[in-house]
Chains A and B, each alone.
Chain A
Amino acid sequence: MQWLDAIIQGILLGGMYAQYALGMALMFGVMRIVNIAHGDVMILLSLIAVSLAGVLPVGNIGLIVVIVPIAVAIGWALQTFILNRVVGADPLPSLIATFGLSIALQNLMLEIWSADTRSLPNSGIASESFQIGSIYVGLLPVIVLVCAFVLTGGLDAVMRYTRFGRGLRAAAADTEAAAMTGVDPKRIYATATAIAVGILGLAAVFAALRATVSPSDGSAQLIYAFEAVIIGGMGSIWGAFLGSMVLGIAQAIGLRIDPGLGILFGHLVFLLVLATRPEGIMARKK
């Protein structure tokens, strides 16, 4: 029963990770860009949400309605002013640029919000739970998981069926050929990053509701998102979702064995996948 409980808690934790990982899978798969500041942007949005909650009495739903557009704007600006200048065959410039941005963002947040951990005021939802058999399941983590599931399905459908999705896949396959057929890669990229960061906006509100955030937490979130994407298989949206589940379960089981081992177990599963199935669990057959 204890292990079943660990697996269920792991899946719920995976729901949170899936929200971090989706945006990364999109940017990774499409632009071959790794945004090192991914986690820091999420933390920034969380902290903005916490500060806004103190001023605007809009409730959690209202907060999401306010934060997501801010996130979309940040994503668009990030792509237009920074990433579009460094995207290209050589991965080094984008890596270094976002690395610098990450350090600057982390310390900027330290200046503004100090190193304290913060969270959104507990509004009841965060502590409600229900019981299945002898296992308690929190309501909020279930909502997070359902949102992650819906987002994954939605994003996958957008990639498959819309004009934007086709343009995105074309630009990912061959930027120049896509440009010749009338796709504007830079605009497509800006939209993709806006969507990716927009999802992070939602994740940010949930993260601040579920637990605490502090300015230096970003790197851990970046690593979890990255691990989920690689475990799942690069370029696969559902892969990122499944990878998040695997990572969440690994961490939850590690945590049951010894409280110091939770995150380490996640890393070990990642390395194990890399050693045995480097193309990821959901990779398309070649």
Chain B
Amino acid sequence: METIKHMRVARATTSSRIAMTFGIMVLFALVAMPWWATSGNIRWAIELCCYIAIAQMWNLLAGYAGLVSVGQQAFIGVAGYLLFVLAQNFGVNPFVAVFLSVIAPAVLAVPTYLLLRRLDGPYFAIGTWVVAEAVRLATSNIDYVNAGAGMTLRVMTQYSQHEREVAFVLLCAVLLLATIGGSYWLLRSRHGLALTAMRDNPVAAASQGVNVGRLRFCIFVAAAVGTGLAGAIYYMAQLRITPGAGFDPFWASMSIFIVMVGGIGSIEGAIIGALIYFFADRLFGEFGSAYLIVLGLLTLVIALYARGGVWGLLQKLGDHPWFPVRRKLIVEDKA
């Protein structure tokens, strides 16, 4: 009878250490961008960061909490609008207002969830769309925010271009840390275990003592806040918001495409998907509707044949997680 003398629990892998080092380097490179990159590249970086953040939040919702939403644009729009109102009409410093603006999505998410939780699965999805449409139409009818004509962020002219760029890359770094870092932290915590259990089977998770309803509610609000922050930063960089753009259902299409192609239910998938979408958009965006037909068909094919997306295919080649959430028991045999 042999007893195991030495064992330890490991989570980090070689691949995760490389990924973490690389990730930190990318963050530093991002923050240093105003000193080495062109303004055009910085604009692209802001856009890419917003895509990653929005997709990551959608992944948290659909991939883990089982809440498929096609109405995340509601949170993008309200956060954007609150930022514009605070900065333009109340004279709040826009870089402070961008953080205050997440109040709007948080406040909207609570009644939205409480209303829609009665609908399950697909019904919930279209319900979120209805909410987004209702908020869009309501916004188009409010004269205080210029109704359908939208608002312009004129206060930004008081900052030089360099100042703005420095602030934007810092905001983007915060955004990535909050969404990717936040998701990773959440998944590694006690709640992460519950979330993973919920992803695999909500009923079984509930039977193990997971409060599925409350966890879903928290995730829905958290995802709304993350999505809203990304939206506020995005429209701050655009300097302009209209109901048609801020509440564009295309935000939902984009999230779905990114997460499905990249690989649902993993942090890596959303990042890969966002990169694929971003570069595909640069390369093929000029083909307009033909390009979108391909995107749509690709989403369809992935839903039919390759549910794991690109990350799922990569996983088949070998288990090299960038953000490992599993724990591994390592037994060291000294004898």
- Could you list which residues of chain A lie within 8 angstroms of chain B, going by C-beta atoms? 32-34, 36, 82, 85-86, 91-97, 99-108, 110-111, 219, 222-223, 226-227, 230, 234, 258, 260-261, 263-264, 267-268, 270-271, 274-275, 278
Alpha-carbon gap, A102 to B141, bound state (A): 29
The listed residue with most A CB atoms (<10 A of its CB), out of B140, B260, B293, is B293
Q: Are A92 and B68 CB-contacts (below 8 A) given A226-B130, A263-B137?
A: yes
The answer to whether B115 touches A111 (Cβ under 8 A) is no
Q: Is the CB of B307 within 8 A of A100?
A: no
Docked CA distance A17–B124 (Å): 21
Q: Out of B126, B289, B307, which one reaches A93, CB within 8 Å?
A: B307
Q: How many residues of B contact A (CB 8 A)?
A: 46
State how many angstroms separate the Cβ of A199 from the closest Cβ of chain B: 19
Q: How far is the CA of A192 from the CA of B320 in the complex (A)?
A: 45
Q: Which 3 A-B pairs have the closest CB atoms?
A: A104-B296, A100-B299, A91-B121
CA distance A86 to B302 in the complex (A): 11
Most chain-A CB neighbours within 10 Å: which of B116, B126, B249, B307?
B126
Residues of A within 8 A of B127 (CB): 230, 274
Contact B122 A267 (CB under 8 A): no
Known: A219-B249, A264-B137. A33 touches B122 (CB 8 A): yes
Task: Determine if A95 and B304 form an interchain contact, defined as CB atoms under 8 angstroms apart.
Answer: no
Against A, the Cβ 8 Å flags (1 = close, 0 = not) of B257-300 are: 10010001000000000000000000000001110110111111
Which single residue of chain B is at the shortest CB-CB distance from A91?
A: B121
Do A111 and B290 form a contact, CB below 8 Å, given A82-B304, A219-B249? yes
- Main secondary structure on chain A at its contact with chain B? helix
A96 with B296: CB separation less than 8 A = no
Per the 8 Å Cβ criterion, residues 126-156 of B in contact with A are 126-127, 129-131, 133-134, 137-138, 140-141
* Most chain A C-beta atoms within 10 Å of own C-beta, residue among B115, B131, B257, B296: B296
* Interface pair B300/A104, CB less than 8 Å apart: yes
Q: Does B62 contact A (CB under 8 A)?
A: yes
By CB atoms of chain B within 10 A, which of A106, A219, A258, A271 has the most? A271
Closest to A112 in B: B289
Q: Could you count the A-B residue pairs with CB atoms below 8 Å apart for me: how many are there?
A: 134
Contact with A258, one of B62, B121, B141, B257 (Cβ below 8 angstroms): B141
Q: Are A226 and B126 in contact (CB under 8 A)?
A: yes
Known interface pairs A95-B122, A107-B288, A274-B127; 8 further A-B residue pairs with C-beta atoms within 8 A, sorted by A's residue number: A92-B68, A94-B303, A97-B303, A104-B293, A106-B292, A107-B290, A110-B289, A261-B141
B119: Cβ under 8 A from any A Cβ:
yes
Can you list 6 A-B pairs with a CB-CB distance of less than 8 A? A82-B304, A91-B120, A96-B68, A106-B296, A107-B290, A230-B123
Instruction: Give Cα A270–Cα B126 distance, bound, in whole angstroms.
Output: 12
- CB contacts (< 8 Å) of B126 on chain A: these are 34, 36, 222-223, 226
- Give the chain B neighbours of A234 by CB distance below 8 A: 123
Residue of A nearest to B70 (CB): A99
**In the bound complex, CA of A271 to CA of B120 (Å):** 15
Chain A minimum-CB-distance residue to B118: A278
Q: Known: A100-B299, A103-B292, A223-B126. Is A260-B137 also a contact (CB below 8 A)? A: yes
Q: Residues of B contacting A111 with CB < 8 Å?
A: 289-290, 293
The smallest C-beta distance from A279 to any residue of chain B, in angstroms, reads 9
B146 → A minimal CB distance (Å): 14
Contacting residues, chain A, for B304 (C-beta < 8 A): 82, 85-86, 93, 97
* In the complex, B98 has a CB within 8 A of chain A: no
B13 interfacial by beta-carbon distance below 8 Å: no
Q: Roughly how many angstroms separate A32 CA and B304 CA in the complex, as a whole number?
A: 17
B303 touches A93 (CB 8 A): yes
Residue of A nearest to B291 (CB): A107
**Whole-angstrom distance between the Cβ of B75 and the nearest chain A Cβ:** 17
With a CB–CB cut-off of 8 A, which chain B residues contact A278? 118-119
Contacts of B133 in A (CB 8 A): 223, 263, 267
Q: Does B125 contact A (CB under 8 A)?
A: yes
* Complex interface: chain A residues within 8 A of B137 (CB): 260-261, 263-264, 267
Q: Given A34-B126, A92-B62, A100-B298, verify A107-B293 contact (CB < 8 Å).
A: yes
**Docked-complex contact B303 and A107, CB < 8 angstroms:** no
- Which residue from A34, A107, A261, A271 sits with its C-beta under 8 Å from B125? A34
Q: Is A101 in contact with B300, judged by CB distance below 8 angstroms?
A: yes
Chain A residue, CB-CB nearest to B130? A267
Q: Considering the chains assembled together, what is the distance between the CA atoms of A36 and B133 in angstroms?
A: 16
Whether B298 lies near A260 (C-beta < 8 A) is: no
Contact B115 A34 (CB under 8 A): no
Judging by beta carbons under 8 Å apart, are B68 and A100 in contact? no
Rounded to whole angstroms, the CA-CA distance of A111 and B119 in the bound complex is 36
B293 touches A108 (CB 8 A): yes
Cα distance A135–B299 in the bound complex, in angstroms: 49
Q: Are B299 and A103 in contact (CB under 8 A)?
A: yes
* B62 & A264 in contact (Cβ 8 Å cutoff): no
Contact A223:B129 (CB < 8 A) given known A99-B299, A271-B115, A274-B115: yes
